[in-house]
Chain A
Amino acid sequence: MTLAERIRPRTTTARWLGMGVAVVAWVTLYALNPPFWDWLVFDVVGLDPESRLGSGVHFFFFDTVKIALLLVGIIFVVTVLRSFMSVERTRALLGGKRQGLGNVLAAGLGVITPFCSCSAVPAFIGFVAAGVPVGVTLSFLIASPLVNEVAIALLFGLFGIGPTVMYVGAGVTIAIVAGLVLGRMRPERWVEPFVFETHLGGQVVDSSQGLTWDDRIQMGLEEVGSILRKIWPYLLVGIGLGAVIHGWAPEEFFARYAGPGNAFAVPLAVLIGVPLYSNAAGVLPLVEALHDKGLPMGTLLAFMMAVVALSLPELILLRRVLKPRLIATFVAVVAVGIIAVGYLFNALL
């Protein structure tokens, strides 16, 4: 029996009471986090807040707890909301849609449909075999990892509502435009032929059907556990690097090479980010530390988008259904989109 099953409520009252207690506990912990580490690191241990060690150590513990709390809260809420959507329903909505409106819808659905990149290949085959155009399918596959709940949770927690809304808007726009551009190139000729020959047999199971509130809450708890288990090493490495940069890297160092003065900083950040395989949880603590060091937000968001949207393992998986020409074009189009967004944000912010 998993923990999520063991604490499964038996009555309606117990369920909403449990949720209420959880909300109060979360808010209390979140509010107590800054004063607690101020007290422990600076007053009890006696490190100097102005010193490198003091600010580095404080950053590490304070950020770890803060990010963990944000992840637990937002992953839970997003999973419960998303349990009303499913890939099957998304496909039904996209079926028969043409280029254009189809891309807009696909990008939007990519954000709200519960989806993991490990299912990218079956979803691709399922969409295309059901008659969804390849360009529209690609809009979905770009938006899904780019605008994900972990990224939204952390951006909101670390930078506030403004950059979060901009990030979501930019991610959806890139997915729409890249899907449209790729759709214009007749990408069907670069898709492995077996995809079009696959017949959708059997009955389609809509996994969002027939769930009770208790099921949805349990799915939320299970998802929090499984995501945290998956990302904690990335998170700790990211926060550790962030703490080192926070405490030790000289103020001018990054600003000199990647600051507003360097016109090539954005493409460079994207070039570095594409082969890196991490996720939003590993990248955002770094982004936060570098932002404190004076790097512009556009450059940093472009870096983060490149890391989360394009990853080598996912591209290798997609090779099963896409020919190398389409994979290369896909990477190029998305990378160009991210670079454009980076420049735009640098100009606006």
Chain B
Amino acid sequence: MIIKVLGPGCANCVNLERVTREAVAELGIDATVEKVTDFAAIVGYGVMRTPGLVVDEKVVLSGRVPTAGQVKEILAPLAG
């Protein structure tokens, strides 16, 4: 699974990356977490409110920082 954190590097994006890594570690799934900071690429995913979360090229969340628990809920069914 390839997870991308979309955001230019603001505080929210750093927080989203942190909770995403926490969620991945807790679920014990095999996933790489990448950051996408290029604005054109971010908008290319259709995201206009940062931060955004993309799993295997599909946008699963945008515009807010979830908790690690919420990210787990999003990732768990996708990992199966």
A93 to chain B, nearest CB (A): 13
Residue with the greatest number of chain A CB neighbours at <10 A, chosen from B47, B57, B64: B47
**Cross-interface CB contact of B39 among A115, A122, A202, A205, cutoff 8 Å:** A122
Residue with the greatest number of chain A CB neighbours at <10 A, chosen from B39, B58, B62: B39
A53 CB within 8 Å of chain B: no
Within the assembled complex, what's the spacing in Å between the Cα atoms of A300 and B67? 40
Contact between A205 and B46, CB atoms less than 8 A apart: yes
Contact between A122 and B67, CB atoms less than 8 A apart: no
Give the residues from 33 to 58 in chain B that come closer than 8 angstroms, CB to CB, to chain A. 39-40, 42-50, 57-58
Residues of A within 8 Å of B, CB-based: how many?
Answer: 36
Within the assembled complex, what's the spacing in Å between the Cα atoms of A123 and B63? 11
Which residues of A are found within 8 Å of B67, using beta-carbon distances? 1-2, 5
- Once A118-B12, A201-B45 are accepted as A-B contacts, the answer to whether A86 and B63 lie under 8 Å apart by CB is yes
Contact between A91 and B48, CB atoms less than 8 A apart: yes
Known: A5-B67, A126-B46, A202-B45. 20 other contacts (CB 8 A): A1-B69, A2-B67, A91-B48, A115-B49, A118-B10, A118-B50, A121-B39, A122-B43, A122-B47, A122-B48, A122-B49, A126-B43, A194-B40, A200-B44, A201-B45, A202-B44, A204-B46, A205-B47, A205-B62, A320-B39
17 intermolecular pairs with C-beta atoms under 8 Å apart: A5-B69, A87-B48, A91-B48, A119-B50, A119-B63, A122-B49, A125-B39, A125-B43, A197-B40, A200-B46, A201-B46, A203-B46, A203-B58, A205-B46, A205-B61, A205-B62, A320-B39
Q: Which A residues lie at the B interface, using CB under 8 A?
A: 1-2, 5, 86-88, 91, 114-116, 118-119, 121-123, 125-127, 129, 194-195, 197-205, 207, 219, 222, 317, 320-321
